[in-house]
Chains A and B, each alone.
With several copies, the nearest count.
Chain A
Amino acid sequence: MTITVKLFAILRDKAGVAELPLELPERATVATAVETLLARHPSLRPFANRIACAVNLSRVTGEAELKDQDELALLPPVSGG
């Protein structure tokens, strides 16, 4: 299956890309998706333990299962306001 990964702020700058497709085995978890992404973009690894994830605009934990066409957003710690 294929999901879309969105990267924001420092994660986008470090990876050099804002959005990319990611091929994953069926029923892969968010944790698997993140690990696959980190392997491809090692520059993101220093941030690994502080990245929050949202799938289709809902916050999820690493155990959440993904499905085809999902939008997975990787969010660094927020700093708005």
Chain B
Amino acid sequence: MTDWLEILATPLPVARAIEFVSATTAGGIAIFLGTTRDDANEKGQPLAALDYEAYADLASRQLTELAHDARQRWPILKLAVLHRTGRVALGEPSVLIAVSTPHRAEAFEACRWLIDTLKADLAVWKKEIWSDGTGTWVDPHAHI
């Protein structure tokens, strides 16, 4: 298996993912971790956590397509794309991309393209959980 693609409900196994993409044919490994950034809502309440929900069947299929498309564009040796669901504490990663390629430029480009495309397409939704326990679904485009 050259791709590790998974929607998972547990903390992201960062070290294992990096080990997974390591290869003696690789000159570079680019990794991106999307982490939960501290924030406050309009009432001044601090963010307590994020809740991620996925349409797991669709998201899994999308990850397969994403990996396929990335491999068409760059000489990827090994690839890991992991997205977490459930509650994610501040500062913790919710998404991980790790790509190994023969040369570093390709690793950076593929990694960047993967996270940008994933964020635009993947069937995952994020709810901000505030300190009083209330939640707000994140609307990426506007406020309804």
Contacts and interface: CB of A to CB of B under 8 A. Distances in A.
The answer to whether A and B touch in the complex, with CB atoms under 8 Å apart, is: yes
B120 A78 contact: yes
Interface of B: 34, 52-55, 57-58, 61, 83, 94-95, 115, 118-127, 137-141, 144
Nearest to A73: B55
A9 B144 contact: no
Interface of A: 6, 8-10, 13, 46-47, 50, 54, 57, 73, 75-81
Given A6-B55, A9-B137, A57-B57, A81 B124 contact: yes
7 contacts: A9-B127, A46-B144, A50-B141, A54-B123, A79-B125, A80-B124, A80-B126
The interface residues of chain B, by DSSP majority, are classed as: mixed
Nearest to A13: B137
Nearest to A6: B55
Contacts of A81: 34, 83, 94-95, 115, 118-119, 122, 124
Contacts of B140: 77-79
B57 A80 contact: no
A3 B58 CA distance: 17
A20 to B, nearest CB: 16
A57 to B, nearest CB: 5
A72 B118 CA distance: 22
Contact of A80 (B95, B137, B139): B95
Contacts of A54: 55, 58, 123
Contacts of B58: 54, 57, 73, 75
B34 A8 contact: no
A9 B125 contact: yes
Contacts of B94: 80-81
Which 6 residue pairs of A and B lie closest in terms of their CB atoms, listed nearest first? A80-B124, A9-B125, A81-B119, A10-B137, A79-B138, A79-B126
Contacts of B123: 8, 54, 73, 75, 78, 80
Contacts of B115: 81
B61 A57 contact: yes
